[in-house]
Structure 1
Amino acid sequence: MTKWVWPVAIVCLLTAGCGVSNNKPYHDQRSAQNSHVDEVALADEPSVDSSRIDSTPLASPSIKPTQAPSEAPKATAQPQTTPTVAIPSPTPKTSQKKATQPEVSKKPSVAVQKNQGHVRISQKKLTLSQLAVKYPDTFKLRGSSQEKKVALTFDDGPDTRFTPKVLDTLKANHVKATFFVLGVKASSHPDVIRRMVNEGHVIGNHSYSHANLPKLTVDKFQNQIMSTESVLQGLIGYAPKLIRPPYGAINEEQVRWVADHHYLIVNWNVDSLDWKSLSSDQVLSNIMQQTKPGSIILQHSGGADSQDLSGTVQALEPLIIKLKAAGYTFVTVPELLHVTKSK
C-alpha cells in the first residue's frame, strides 16, 4: 500500500502544478501578442495598403470550452487587430490633400496673371488707325470709296502770308475746301475767317495753340477745344463739329470725350508733306500718288514763320486741274462724310 502512495502523490502534485502554471502564461501571451499587433499597425500607418485592409476578416472569434488554453491566443488575436488596422484609413485622405495643395495654391496666381494681362492690354496705347477702327463714328480718316470725290483740307491758318493766296486759287477754280484753324490765329485774323465763310468754305477746330493734345491734362485738353470754339462761334455763327488734333495726335480718353460732346475727329489719308517747305512739284507728286476716291487731303495754309508754303500755293491749281481731269469732284469734309458742319 505504501509503494502506491508516493507515485500517486507525485502525480497529484505534478497535475496541480501544471494547472497553476498554465493560467498565467495564457494572459501573458495574449498581452504580448496584442502589443505586437499594435506595433505592426503603427509601423504600417504612413503607407496603408488598402488590399490588406479589405482582406482582413472582421468576424468575431468563438472559443470552444474544450479548446486547449495554448490555442486561445490564436483565436483572440484577430478581433484585436480589427480596430488597429482600421485606424490608418484617414491617412490616404491626408496625403491627397498634401499632394493637391500646390495645385490649389497655383490657381490664384494664374488668375492674377490673366487679370494683369488684361490690365496691360487695356492700358496699351492704340495707334491712330486703331482708334479709327474702334471708334468709326467718331474718328474719320477718309470718305466712301464708292464715290469719286475728294476733300481738300488746310491746317494751321489763318495767316496773312499764304491763306489769302490759297483762298484766291480756290475761288478762281470754284472749289470749296475745309479749313482747320487755330483759335489764337482766328482771334488775330478775324477778317480772314469771315472771308472763308463768305466764300463757302467750312471751318473746323484745330485747337487753340497747336498743342500736342495727348500730353495735356484733361482740363487743358478741353480748354484747347472749348476756347477755340468760343472764338469761332462769335466769327462764323456756329460751333464747328469737326476737330482735327494737331499732328493728328489724340488718345483714347480724348476720343471718348469728343464722342460724348458730339464732335467728329477728322484726320486724313493723303499727306502732301508741304509742311516741310517742299517745292510745288514735290507737293503735287505726293498728292497725286496717294489720292483715291474718298480721300481727305492734308495741306497747310499757315504755319511757323520759318515755314515756306509757296510750294503749296503754286501746286494748288495744277492739282485741281489734274484731279478734275481724272474725274474727281471736290467737296467739303461734311459733304464727303455726310455730316453737318456744326455741332
Structure 2
Amino acid sequence: MLRPEKKKTLILCCFVLLFVSLVASLPYFYKTFENGFVNQVSSKKRDNRPIKKLIYKDMIQSKEGEKAKKITPEALMPNRNHNYQALSYAYSAKWVNEVLQGKKHITGKKLVFLTFDDGPNNVITPKILDKLKKEKVPATFFTVGKEIGKEKRSILKREIKEGHAIALHSFTHDYHQLYPERKGNKDVIIKEVKANQDALKKQLGDHFHSSVFRYPGGHMSWKDLEESDQLLSEEGIQWIDWNAANGDALDDSQAPKTKDDMITFHKKTLNYFPDRGIRVILMHDAVGKKLTLEALDAIISYYKQEGYIFAVLH
C-alpha cells in the first residue's frame, strides 16, 4: 500500500502528463477546425467579380431555380430604350430636365447629350451612326412614328447595338394636329406618343420601352401643355427640350449655309442658354440634313476638348 506522500506525488505526475498531452494536441485540433471551417466557407459560392461584368457580360437569373440566360453588352435592356452597355452613361430625362431648369445641380462633371430628331432616315441616319462610331460617342435619337417601318428596322437595331438610345417624337409631327391655334391638344399628343411607342415595339420587340419624349417644335414653343405633361407623367414618360442647337431646324432663310456657319451658330446658342453643366444639343437626322453631318465632327471635338462626358437619355 502506497504511503500518502507517494500517492500525492503519483497523482500530481498524472495531472502533469495529462496537461502536457492536451497542450501538445492543441495544434492538431486547431488545424482540423481551421481546415473544416475554411472548406465550409469555400464550398459556398462567392462572387468577387467586377459589377460591370455581372451586369453586362455574365449571366442573369430571371427566377430562382431557372436556367441562367446569357446576355451581351449590345443586347436591348428589357423595358429600356438602350442596351446593357449604355447603362453606365444613361441618365434620366426627368433629372436632366430638372438640371436644365435650375431645380437640381450637377457637380464634379459635365455632360453632353447629342440628340437627333425626325428620323430614322435610310440615307442620313446610317452616315451619322458611322461618324458616332468613329468618334466613339453615343447619341439619343428622337424618332417619328410614321417614319418607322420594316425597312428601318435594321437602322433601329443598329442604334441599340452601338450603344445609342431611342426616344419618342410623336407619330405625325403635324403641328396643326398637335397644337391647334398653338395650344396643345392633350388627346392627340398622348395618342401619338403611344402610337410612336407601338411602332418602335413592333420593330424592336415588346420588351422595348422609351420613357423620353420631345414635343415637335419643343415644349418651349407652345401653350397649354400642362394637361398633356400630366398625362405623360402618368404614363411614366418625361418630356425634354434642349439648351444648344446647330441651327438645322431653321427655315432656309435663317439656317446656316456652310459648315463653319453651323459651328458658329452652335457656339452662339451656348451663350443664349444658361450653362448648368449639361448640354442637350438639338440636331436632326432627316432628309436634307447634309450640313449636320459635315459639322458633326467639329461639334463632337469641341465637347471632347472641353472635358464633357457623352451620355444618353432614358
**TM-score of the pair, normalised by structure 2:** 0.57
Residue 141 of structure 1 deviates from its aligned partner by 7.4
Instruction: Confirm whether residue 222 of structure 1 aligns to residue 194 of structure 2.
Output: no
Deviation at 1:265, TM superposition (A): 0.5
**Aligned mate of 2:122, from 160, 175, 178:** 160
Deviation of 1:235 after TM superposition, in Å, equals 2.6
Report the counterpart of residue 186 of structure 1 in structure 2: 148
How far apart are the structure 2 equivalents of 1:318 and 1:148? 18
Q: Please identify which structure carries the higher helix content.
A: 1
Partner-residue secondary structure (3-state), 2:200: helix
Q: 1:296 Cα deviation (Å)? A: 0.6
The equivalent position to 1:281 in structure 2, one of 238, 246, 260, is: 260
CA contact (8 A) 2:99 2:278 kept: no
Give the Cα–Cα distance (whole angstroms) in 1 for the partners of residues 114 and 98 of structure 2: 15
In structure 1, the residue corresponding to 2:286 is in which secondary structure?
A: coil
Q: Which amino acid aligns with 2:161?
A: N
Question: Residues 176-213 of structure 1: CA distance to partner in whole angstroms, max 9, x if unpaired?
Answer: 00000001112252221111111110000000111222
- Please name the residue that 2:292 is paired with: 312
The alignment status of 1:300 with 2:262, answered yes or no, reads: no
Task: Tell me the residue number matched to 2:168.
Answer: 205
Aligned length: 195
Q: Please give the secondary structure, in 2, of the residue aligned with 1:151.
A: strand
Distance 1:317 1:223 in 2: 37
**C-alpha distance in structure 1 between counterparts of 2:247 and 2:269, whole Å:** 12
The 1-side partners of 2:137 and 2:285 are apart by 15
Which structure would you say has the larger RCO, counting Cα contacts within 8 Å and 6 or more residues apart? 2
Question: RMSD of the alignment, in Å?
Answer: 2.3
* Structure 1: distance between partners of 2:196 and 2:263: 31
TM-score for both structures, normalised by structure 1 = 0.53
SS at match of 2:167: strand
Q: Deviations over 1:279-304 (max 9, x none)?
A: 2212212223334420111000114x
| Code of the aligned partner of 1:231 | A
Assess, with a 3 A threshold, how the Cα gap between structure 1 residues 317 and 138 changes in structure 2: closer, same or farther: closer
1:260 equivalent in alignment to 2:234: yes
Q: List alignment gaps of at least 5 residues for structure 1.
A: 1-135, 334-340
Alpha-carbon distance in structure 2 between the residues aligned to 1:138 and 1:252: 19
| Pairwise CA distance, 1:140 | 5.3
Larger Rg over CA atoms: 1
Aligned with 2:217: secondary structure? Answer: helix
Q: 1:283-326, CA deviations, whole angstroms, 9 ceiling, x for partnerless residues?
A: 212223334420111000114xxxx3111101111111122112
1:5 matched residue in structure 2: none
Return the letter of the residue paired with 1:297: I
1:57-136 matches, cutoff 5 A? none
Query: Percent of counterpart pairs with the same letter?
Result: 27
